[in-house]
């Protein structure tokens, strides 16, 4: 019940910044940076011919030297379907964390929610918790969102801490 209650209450309509139908690849700023308690929502569709796509939360958008990436989230459809997470620090990739589970379906719509906690990112897909990824880079350094690969994004938004606290508290109270 909590999953559907939470999903029905969180929407890009509550976002402090919303982007509709961006051209992919997309890179844009997270106004004011990212903070614990905030939520990022991505609503889109996976094309039928998708092999992979990625969402990156980074510190800037430099390519030379490449900016640090706090969260590299990459659903992969070829071979053994999985989700790979990693971080890039001083142009060196860390150890990949691979989840041998893929909640995305080719040709189907999706909603991905990234909840920012003090020590982890929590990711849910289509209202179901998928994974937690521990911060390897301080979250207060994250100020850029990127998405690339074979994916269509209809809407994405950043929900500020005060709004996300309200909705998560409301959802928790409703589930009791």
Tens digits of residue pLDDT in 24-70? 999 999 988 999 999 999 999 999 999 999 999 999 988 888 999 99
Neighbours of 175 (CB within 10 A): 12
DSSP codes joined into one string, 96-143: -EEES-----TT-EEEEEEEE-SSEEEEEETTEEEEEEE-SS-GGG--
Tokens matching residue 43: 């609503």
Strands 144-149 and 128-134: unpaired
pLDDT value for 6: 40
Q: How far apart (Å, rounded) are the C-alpha atoms in residues 26 and 146?
A: 5
Minimum mean pLDDT range among 44-53, 115-124, 164-173: 164-173
CATH architecture of 2-169: Sandwich (2.60)
pLDDT at 151 over 90: yes
CA-closest candidate to residue 45, choices 156, 140, 137:
156
Average pLDDT estimate for 158-165:
67
State CA 141 to chain mean position distance: 16
In which band, very low, low, confident or very high, does the pLDDT at 14 lie, cut at 50, 70 and 90? low
What are the tens digits of pLDDT across the range 75-113?
Answer: 999 999 999 999 999 999 999 999 999 999 999 999 999
Average pLDDT, the chain: 87
Minimum mean pLDDT range among 6-15, 99-108, 146-155: 6-15
């Amino acid at each position: 019940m909590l999953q559907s209650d939470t999903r029905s209450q969180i929407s890009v309509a509550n976002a402090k910044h919303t982007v509709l139908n961006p051209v992919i690849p997309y890179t844009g700023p997270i106004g004011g940076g990212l903070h614990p308690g905030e939520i990022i929502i991505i609503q889109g569709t996976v094309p039928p011919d998708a092999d992979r796509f990625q969402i990156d939360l980074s510190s800037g958008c430099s390519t030379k030297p490449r900016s640090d990436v706090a969260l590299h989230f990459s659903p992969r459809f070829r071979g053994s379907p999985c989700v790979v997470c990693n971080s890039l620090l001083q142009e060196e990739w860390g150890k990949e964390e691979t989840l041998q589970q893929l909640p995305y379906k080719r040709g189907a719509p999706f909603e991905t929610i990234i909840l920012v906690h003090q020590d982890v990112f929590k990711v849910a897909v289509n209202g179901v918790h998928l994974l937690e990824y521990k911060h390897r880079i301080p979250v207060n350094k994250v100020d850029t969102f990127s998405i690339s690969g074979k994916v269509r994004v209809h809407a994405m938004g950043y929900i500020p801490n005060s709004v996300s606290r309200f909705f998560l508290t409301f959802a928790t109270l409703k589930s009791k």
